[in-house]
Amino acid sequence: MTADPVLVLAWLVAAHLAADFVFQWGRLVRAKTMPGGRGARGLLIHGAIVAALLLPVVAAFGVPGWRVLVTVVVTHVAIDWTKIVLTRRAEAAAAADAARRHEPSGSPVDGLGPAWTPLPAVLFALDQLAHLAVLGGAWLAFLSTAPLEPGFVTWAGSWLADRDQAVVHEVAVRTVVLASLLVVNVRAGALFVAVLVGARAPTEGRVPPAASAATAPLDATPAARRMGWTVRLGPLTGRAVPDAETGPVPETARPSAAAPPARVGEAIGILERLLVVTFVLVRAEAAIGLVIAAKTLARFRQLDDRDFAEYYLLGTLASVAIAAISAFAAVAVLDTLG
């Protein structure tokens, strides 16, 4: 007896998404990006989580399942390490290039920062595509024709008992696909957009692009660069840099014109993607335009600021693209169920 390929592939994808975006907490992500032994330990812990989520495949297929587990875990760690190294190099190169072009006068910079580069987001996307390609290849090589373990078949038969197997299968596939959609548009989408639109400056401090920040002069002290901020009111731009020995600036002392908290923007993006996904699933794609229009109207006055307009347009297009692509892919899978 062989397993349904749609259900197996859907489970493999869901396990990958869970490992990368549900069971990979912030401290682990930071550890992975550290050089030396700490980075290696972070990668190994992440690989162990990937392996744990693939154990049901081992239970269902036996030896072929073990082959999939080893292949996926080893390549997953290698792909992640490659992405981390390339991302670090891309950001360092962009910062160095921006530093060479940077004017120490403190003049305003583009909304995405003088050292902004799309390469980290491109590498993020390529990382995910590489993982999915490995999963598909491992399934094709080891599981597509592999029979289910007799013990697993016996257990599944006793669990199903008098239930309609066709209905159970459909419910399982729909549940896995919808859960994957939720992870992609709540966690993965938010991370991708954050990586794409993150302001990068050639100095140590980073100012949110929505605040139209100017970077500190290159000859400023590191402490001053970390604690300074820039505010633009109409045509006027001002920069405040407290004494480096006074310590961090309290949040209550920061200017009221600062950008909204990042969490608010993240929540708006999540709701936007979930609405787009819902419209695609119910075949009401035309309503997607209403979501974008409503969001644009709320920001209409701010779009006169080129810095903010670039930041807003890039983030919105990326967010909608993620939601639409993932939703149409899910519809294609669900259509196979009839």
pLDDT digits (tens, 9 = 90+) for 188-238: 999 999 999 876 666 444 433 333 333 333 333 333 333 343 434 344 444
SS3 150: helix
Report d(CA 199, CA 301) in Å as an integer.
22
pLDDT at 8: 93
- The stretches of 62-204 forming alpha helices (DSSP H) are 63-101, 119-138, 150-160, 165-183, 189-197
pTM for the full predicted model? 0.77
The amino acid occupying position 218 is L
Q: Which residues contact 281 (CB under 8 A, 6 or more apart)?
A: 327, 330, 331
Whether residue 243 is predicted with pLDDT greater than 50 in this model: the reply is no
- Arithmetic mean of pLDDT over the chain: 79
The pLDDT tens digits for 16-52 are: 999 999 998 888 988 998 888 899 999 999 999 999 9
Name, of 94-98, 219-223, 293-297, 328-332, the range with top average pLDDT.
328-332
pLDDT, average across residues 55-59: 94
Lowest mean pLDDT across 9-13, 44-48, 197-201, 241-245 = 241-245
Q: Tens digits of per-residue pLDDT, 250-266? A: 444 444 444 455 677 78
H-run or E-run covering 262: helix 262-281
Q: Select from 214, 256, 225, 260 the least CA-distant residue to 103.
A: 214
